Amino acid sequence: MKIAFLLLTLIVAVNLIAQTDTLPSGVYSWSNAKPEKTLTGERRQVLKGSTLDLAGLEIHTSTLSPGKTNHPPRAYNNREELIIVKEGTLKLTIKDSSKILGAGGLALIVAGDEQSFSNPSDKPVTYYVLVYTAKDPVNIQRGQQMGSFIKDWKELEVKKTDKGESRPIFDRPSSMFPRFDVHATALNPGMSSHAPHTHRAEEIILMMKGNVEEFIGNASHKAKAGDVILLNSNIPHAITNTGKVQCGYFAIQWRNK
């Protein structure tokens, strides 16, 4: 009887753990996401749920019409945001600093920092918003010590490789993680980034241009510009450029230790 109870308890515990991980590895299509009109433009929800290390993960794009602002300056103490410009021109204000970003420009906004975005141009601007909350408690002091990060694409250092290009962006602590790593990769046609491999860190691949094939687990999946690829912890994966021109993507990883 006691053994049966222990087995039942174990099964329930395993099920509860599994239920907290709601987002499977795979390709999440931006073009198939339903556009929703907003007061300032448009919004597309790409994915929303939780993962092994994230209590909440939401990825969407926002489109601001010319001259529009997303909202008055505000701060969030329970989450971080990673902003990446998809197309157009975005004026991004964090605390008392503002910067104009073009396509590929990005910003990490740590918990507690006031922020606001606007479109200073005469054309729409579309940007990705990655909103996430770690399962570990937020560490606002650690985030404030490092500060938020903001850089335009043309400011990023370019390193030529035998497969294309690499742009290291940052590898640092944040208010959510002891280590948060973002870099950009460009692969020449036919090239693979690496052989199928695994790692403990979860990962997001954000496609900016071109067409690729992502090997995940034991199957291959096609992805194109705009798509988001989510790779869960310790799942085998590899990416190959299947197009006739160079592809480009951001690789985003977080580590809780």
Give burial (CB, 10 Å; 0-12/13-18/19+) of 224. Answer: middle
Residue 115 near residue 81 (C-beta atoms within 8 A): yes
pLDDT of residue 256: 82
Please report, in tens digits, the pLDDT of each residue of the chain (257 residues total). Answer: 444 433 333 433 444 344 456 999 999 999 999 999 999 999 999 999 999 999 999 999 999 999 999 999 999 999 999 999 999 999 999 999 999 999 999 999 999 999 999 999 999 999 999 999 999 999 999 999 999 999 999 999 999 999 999 999 999 999 999 999 999 999 999 999 999 999 999 999 999 999 999 999 999 999 999 999 999 999 999 999 999 999 999 999 998 87
pLDDT of residue 62: 98
pLDDT of residue 4: 40
Match 């329930």 to its residue by tokens.
12
Residue 51 near residue 57 (C-beta atoms within 8 A): yes
Q: Report the b/e string of 49-67 with b at 16+ CB within 10 A.
A: ebbbbbebbbbbbbbbeee
Residues 6+ apart with CB under 8 A from 115: 73, 74, 75, 81, 92, 93, 94, 95, 109
The model's pTM is 0.91
Q: Which is it for strands 211-216 and 219-224: parallel, antiparallel or unpaired?
A: antiparallel
pLDDT of residue 12: 37
Domains and CATH numbers, the chain: 31-153 (2.60.120.10), 157-255 (2.60.120.10)
C-alpha 125/C-alpha 224 separation (Å) is: 20
